[in-house]
Amino acid sequence: IENLFKIFFQHFFDFLKEKQDKRYMKGILDKMRDKCWLSKQVDRAFFNSFQIDSKDLISNTIIKEMPILFKEIEKVSQNAAILFQLIQDDSLGEEGFNIKRCESTIIQANTSKGLLYGMYRLYEEILLGNQFKEIISIPDQSIRMINHWDNMDGTIERGYAGESIFYANNQFRRDWTIVHEYARLLASIGINALSINNVNVHKVETRLITMDFIEDLKTMNAIFSSYGIKLFLSINFASPITIGRLETADPLDERVQNFWQKIVSNLYKEIPTFGGFVVKADSEGEPGPFAYGRGHDDGANMFAEILKPFGGICIWRCFVYNCKQDWRDRSIDRARAAYDHFMPLDGRFSDNVILQIKLGSLDFQVKEPVSPLFGGLRKTNQIIEFQLTQEYTGQQRAVYYQAPVWKEALDFDTKHDYSPSVVKGLLKSNSIDSKNSGICAVGVVGMDENWTHHKLMQSNIYAYGKLCWDNQLTSEEMANNWSKLSFILSDQGHKTVSEILITSRETYRLYNAPNGVGFMCKPHIHYGPDVDGYEYDRWGTYHFADRNGIGNNRSKTGTKYVEQYSSQRCEEYHNVKTCPDDLLLWFHYVKYDHKLQNGKTLIQDIYDNHFEGVERVQKYIAQWQTLENEIDEESYSNVSGLLDEQYDMAIEWRDQINTYFFRKSGISDKYNRNIYN
């Protein structure tokens, strides 16, 4: 076989026949510090027998993974030979692959990265017991990223799964084994970009862009690069002042530009494959171009120009709003802000600037309409931002499988009069450079032994990566597969796990703030109910409940937020008769006895949902108990303990919300259930 890169294995090692832990996701997702995936038994001679480009980090990774893959293949096939072939096939692009299975198995791709993804896919298919002849796969989204909100003191902003895996005591933790395991985990689900520090860049991490930490950064980069993952840093816009000792950070000032020029060229000299910067500017107190009378385009384009010769990109966040507003001023609507700021700038950003836009217009609530910037922006690179860490949705202590949330957003039809008008398609087609578009999510992992604190919430990382790669996958498929890859269970056992996962978002929604109104949680902590916590507050998210009704009037007669959508969506949301029930209070103020589309009054719907939400969690507890003898003890007790906690919290939500609305409205529950007064 005449290829630049060829590996032909005929696998014969007896030791690989030994019974091993079949839980792929245990290998992939659990840290297994004692049983590190990088098997120490690997025979050196085995590697020496194939031709690889030893300078190519990714092909080295493939070789290291091989023995594990073989163990699996051997169980299902007489012939465990795999041929890795570099080919030239434009249709596969830079990351796609083709796996053919006949006598032996052939994985073909244009690049070693494609081969790596092909290998993980093969691995997964085998573990799932799937039969296939050929799989051709190319990713739907170009950028598939995770943003870490890790601080160098080891804390994580909105992190609930232990300390940072990257940092401790204001330096790198240097537990490279964990970093390796994490990189492997991410590559196995197709993640290809990672920013490694908090978007709020305040303390020592401001200096990550200097040479102070360069050796550690290089090590991090080498690890992630060997899994095909590009590394990014979040930067502080005011660095020219704090680090460069200039009196300004004005992006149009030559001294500022020179400062950044030097920073960037130093970084690229040391790390030529560095990805670029993530910037949170003029948001929640972070510095930005506004202080100098400049726009977001001026700020972002300055970075873009400096990064361009090195192939770097500038990811600029659209989470910009006035967090010091006056609740008395009803003309201000935080939900409008991202669109109001960025829509006028469409077409003014360089082709290596990407706007990063949160899924909804507020902030990762359990239910929000999709941001109107999707479909609005037509000449700007864009990525949609999700949140893996469950900031508002149970903080790793509640089951909240997010695939349904992401599917809802990606499948959302903006109903603009052009094609594609659906979010998953327009991310690319409305970007000026299709490779600079895609999806990112705020990270979730920490030092907790199982990565995510709640064992079942590993499913979110898995589903996130898989969905970014293949937007057609269903929530059910991903939940099922995750269960099969993570646990050895009977069919009924897997059904139970999947059922809990798939219904969990709706369960959480039912007992949370009602009908899309959002934010009835404890201020700042964002865990547990606080009915008026954000009412009369400078952060600006109001439900306006009074004795007659509740909701935020964002219709044409209110803040006019609805007008940011296409005319069809605008009409749908504007009209209380067509506005979906679960978003009604986001868009409208309505009376408690308002008749919903489901035939109930709003107040009865609130009561019913909150009782049902708690009952559902109670049912999860019973369902989980049926797995006691099937599931490993650690996972079992982890989940059962957390389900008990979720149950208590759901009761708290139910009682506070129901009582609050009963007191406001004076309308009793039709079924006379227990509401406190």
User: What percent of the chain is helix, strand and coil (3-state, nearest 5)?
Assistant: 45, 10, 45
What phi, psi does 587 have (nearest 5°)?
A: -100, -20
Residues carrying an active site annotation: 284, 363, 391
Please report whether residue 319 would count as binding ligand BDP according to CB under 6 A.
yes
Contact present, 544 and 551 (Cβ < 8 Å): yes
The residue with tokens 């803040």 is 559
The residues near 255 (Cβ < 8 Å, ≥ 6 apart) are 240, 246, 248
For position 537 contacting ligand BDP by CB under 6 A, the verdict is no
Binding mask 269-288 for ligand BDP (x = CB under 6 A): -----------x--------
Comparison of 199 and 410: residue with beta carbon closer to ligand BDP: 199
**Distance of closest approach, residue 631 Cβ to ligand BDP, in angstroms:** 33
Residues in 48-67 that interact with ligand BDP by CB under 6 A: none
20 token code pair: 């091993």
Q: Which pairing describes strands 193-195 and 171-172: parallel, antiparallel, or unpaired?
A: unpaired
- Min dist. Cβ of residue 289 to ligand BDP (A): 17
Peptide bond before 272: cis, by omega within 30 degrees of 0?
no
Q: Is 237 in the site for ligand BDP (CB under 6 A)?
A: no
Give the side-chain half-sphere CA count within 13 A for 592. Answer: 21
> Of residues 199, 249, 306, 307, which one binds ligand BDP by CB under 6 A?
199
Report the distance separating Cα 166 and Cα 205, nearest Å: 12
Residue 364 touching ligand BDP (CB under 6 A): yes
150, 333, 363, 368: residue in contact with ligand BDP (rule CB under 6 A): 363
At closest approach, how far in Å is the CB of 251 from ligand BDP? 20
Query: Parallel, antiparallel, or unpaired: how do β-strands 134-137 and 105-109 relate?
Result: unpaired
Q: Which is nearer to ligand BDP, 316 or 589 (CB)?
A: 316
- Element spanning 98, H or E: strand 97-101
Instruction: Name the minimum Å distance from CB 317 to ligand BDP.
Output: 7
Smallest distance from the beta carbon of 522 to ligand BDP, in angstroms? Answer: 12
Which residue is nearest to ligand BDP, using beta carbons? 363
Nearer to ligand BDP, 446 or 549 (CB): 446
Nearer Cβ to ligand BDP, position 35 or 324? 324
Residues in binding contact with ligand BDP, number by CB under 6 A: 9
Cβ(291)–Cβ(249) under 8 Å?
A: yes
Q: Which of 177, 200, 219, 273 binds ligand BDP (CB under 6 A)?
A: 200
Two tokens at 295? 């726009």
Residues 462-521 that bind ligand BDP (CB under 6 A): none
CA distance 200 to 153: 13
> Which position among 158, 218, 556, 591 is part of the footprint of ligand BDP (CB under 6 A)?
158
Instruction: Please state, in angstroms and rounded to a whole number, the distance separating the CA atoms of residues 290 and 293.
Output: 5
Of 74, 89, 94, 157, the one binding ligand BDP (CB under 6 A) is 157
Residue of 335, 419, 436 lying closest to 383 (CA atoms): 436
Q: Scanning residues 342 to 361, which ones bind ligand BDP (CB under 6 A)? A: none
Alpha carbon distances (Å) from 373 to 201, 344, 414, 631: 26, 11, 10, 44
Q: How far is the CB of 109 from ligand BDP (least distance, A)?
A: 35
Residue 125 binds ligand BDP, judged by CB under 6 A: no
| Binding interface with ligand BDP (CB under 6 A) | 157-158, 199-200, 280, 319, 363-364, 391
